[in-house]
Amino acid sequence: MKSPLVVTVTGAAGQIAYSLLPRIASGEVFGEDQPILLRLLEIEPGMKSLEGVVMELNDCAFPLLDSIEATSNLNNGFDGTNWALLVGSVPRKAGMERKDLLGINGKIFVGQGEAIARNAAEDINVLVVGNPCNTNCLIAMKNAPGIPQSRWHAMTRLDENRAKSALAQKAGCHSRDITRLAIWGNHSSTLYPDFENALINSDPVSKYIPDRAWLEGDFIKDVQQRGAAIIGARGLSSAKSAAHAAIETVRSLRATTPADDWHSVAIASDGSYGVEEGLICSFPIRSSGGISTIVQDVDLGEFGKIKFQATLNELLEERAMVAELLPK
Ligand code: NAD
Ligand code: LMR
């Protein structure tokens, strides 16, 4: 038996974690021969409810679940962590943009970045889910000196999945027929779902969906606003689909991306596509051997470049809003 992988999930008593934790414990994310030590981090008011979550996880008797440690202490929470899924933070309510959460959530990621730098395992990898996830990830990364920028990721896979589902419904195909669907930029209402480089059954999307006005209009708007639509319908933000996207993100980052495809995740820019080095921006990504790189030479075209610039501008605006949380 391998030694346990230490996986820390923050916001462990919250709704996303409720869907996420059993799937991590079952082996779906890290492999069916990989025992898991689950570290569940919550704030004090969430600890009572977390007790119930721990009871339920124990009652599942997962063969791969080595042990569970629930804590509200940041140092204990990230002690020896190999993978940290930073979910814990306040979700937005109807009428808010995700960046309106920066004032409440941004500072959480200062302490978590510092605690990760102090306590985590050398091979730590981090996925930030809590919103606004790109800028929260930037805050944590900048407050975690010594941890390579390549280990930091923020989640845009949910947007990729939403875009695939919307295209499939319009084209009358299945979402599995769609490849190379990149989300560019921010996980926000400015994100750009790149329909021009996506493929349906290896052909351009335009072959199946000639309605360019729909692609440029309702398609983009609906993907950008899908989170708000779910809040409007449920009164709560997406949870099951967010947990699923987190699982797919980690799996894709650990796997080898098929040569004819890519996946979407926000990572620290290396300067590609003119994006300032270090900005956490979503790109088309290929992964192999635990290393993820930005796919080069994707032609965004005139329309795509304008959309990409708009979402980049928002990322820069968010960075300026949290300047005091970013050590020089
Ligand atoms: P939730 O309110 O159900 O749960 C959040 C949990 O985090 C709560 O239990 C709370 O006590 C805990 N928490 C708050 N501050 C914490 C801290 N400093 N340390 C540890 N735990 C803390 O919310 P949820 O529905 O699970 O959503 C969590 C976050 O994920 C929100 O910010 C939401 O907007 C975001 N989200 C992101 C995506 C994405 O695609 N990136 C998708 C869905 C939701
Ligand atoms: C989502 O996309 O569903 C999440 O980011 C939650 C939200 O606030 O929209």
pLDDT in tens, 98-140: 999 999 999 999 999 999 999 999 999 999 999 999 999 999 9
Q: Assess whether pLDDT exceeds 90 at residue 235.
A: yes
pLDDT band at 221 (very low <50, low <70, confident <90, very high): very high
Considering the domain architecture, whether residues 247 and 165 belong to the same structural domain is answered as: yes
Q: Reduce the DSSP state of residue 39 to 3 states and report it.
A: strand
Question: Is there a single domain that holds both residue 171 and residue 134?
Answer: no
Final residue of a structural domain among 136, 154, 172: 154
On whether residue 266 sits in a domain, the answer given is yes
By percentage, how much of the chain surpasses pLDDT 90?
99
Q: Is 164 in the pocket of ligand 2 (CB under 6 A)?
A: no
What pLDDT is attached to residue 276? Answer: 98
Residue 299 is predicted with a pLDDT of 98
What number is the average pLDDT over the span 299-308? 98
The total domain count for the chain is 2
**For position 1, what pLDDT does the model report?**
84
In a domain, 90, yes or no: yes
Six-digit token string for 59: 């009652």
Mean pLDDT for 209-226 is: 98
Give CA–CA dist 33/171, Å, rounded.
39
The model's confidence at residue 308, banded by pLDDT at 50, 70 and 90, is: very high
Cα 56 to ligand 2 centroid, rounded to whole Å: 26
Structural domain contains residue 206: yes
Answer whether residue 113 is part of any domain: yes
Residue 228 has pLDDT above 90, yes or no: yes
**47 within 8 A of 70, measured Cβ to Cβ:** yes
- Which letter, b or e, does each residue of 221-244 get, where b requires 16 or more Cβ atoms within 10 Å of its Cβ? eebbebbbebbeeeeebbbebbbb
Of 19, 98, 134, the one to substitute when testing ligand 2's pocket (max ligand atoms within 8 A of C-beta) is 98
The C-alpha atoms of residue 74 and residue 284 are separated, in whole angstroms, by 33
pTM (predicted TM-score): 0.98
Is 187 labeled as catalytic in the residue annotation?
Answer: yes
Neighbours of 114 (CB within 10 A): 18
Ligand 1 center from residue 92 Cα (angstroms): 9
Cα Rg of the chain, angstroms:
19
**Ligand 1 center to 256 CA (angstroms):** 29
Answer with the one of 107, 127, 154 that is the final residue of a domain.
154
Angle of the 133-142 helix axis to the 108-119 helix axis, nearest 10: 50
pLDDT in tens, 236-257: 999 999 999 999 999 999 999 9
Query: Do residues 52 and 148 share a domain?
Result: yes
Residue 220's pLDDT is 98
Query: Does ligand 1 come within 6 angstroms of the Cβ of 128?
Result: no
Nearest CA to ligand 2 atom 9: 227
Q: Is residue 324 part of a domain?
A: no
Token output for 305: 């470049």
Does residue 148 sit in the same domain as residue 176? no
Its sign, for the CA torsion 197, 199, 204, 208, is: negative
The CATH number given to whatever domain includes residue 200 is: 3.90.110.10
From 154, 175, 190, give the residue that closes a domain: 154
Tokens representing 272 are 């590609």
Quick count: other Cβ atoms within 10 Å of Cβ 192?
28
> Ligand 2, closest atom to CA 159?
2
Other beta carbons within 10 angstroms of residue 24's beta carbon come to 26
Instruction: Supply the DSSP string of 195-224, one letter for each residue.
Output: TTT-EETTEEHHHH---HHHIIIIIHHHHH
The CB of 237 under 6 Å from ligand 2? The reply is yes
Q: What's the count of helices (H) and strands (E) in the chain, helices before strands?
A: 13, 14
Count Cβ neighbours within 10 Å for each residue of 126-160 and write b for 16 or more, e otherwise. Answer: bbbbbbbbbbbbbbbbbbbeebeeebbbbbbbbbb
Domain that holds residue 60: 5-154
CA of 13 relative to ligand 1 center, distance in Å: 9
145-167 pLDDT, tens digit per residue, is: 999 999 999 999 999 999 999 99
Per-residue confidence (pLDDT) for residue 88, from 0 to 100: 98
Verify that 124 and 184 share a domain, yes or no.
no
Alpha helix ranges (H) inside the chain? 15-25, 47-60, 74-77, 102-105, 108-119, 133-142, 157-171, 205-208, 212-214, 220-224, 226-234, 240-254, 301-321
* Statement to judge: residues 178 and 271 lie in one domain: yes
Determine the pLDDT at residue 328: 83
Cβ contact 103:138 at 8 Å: no
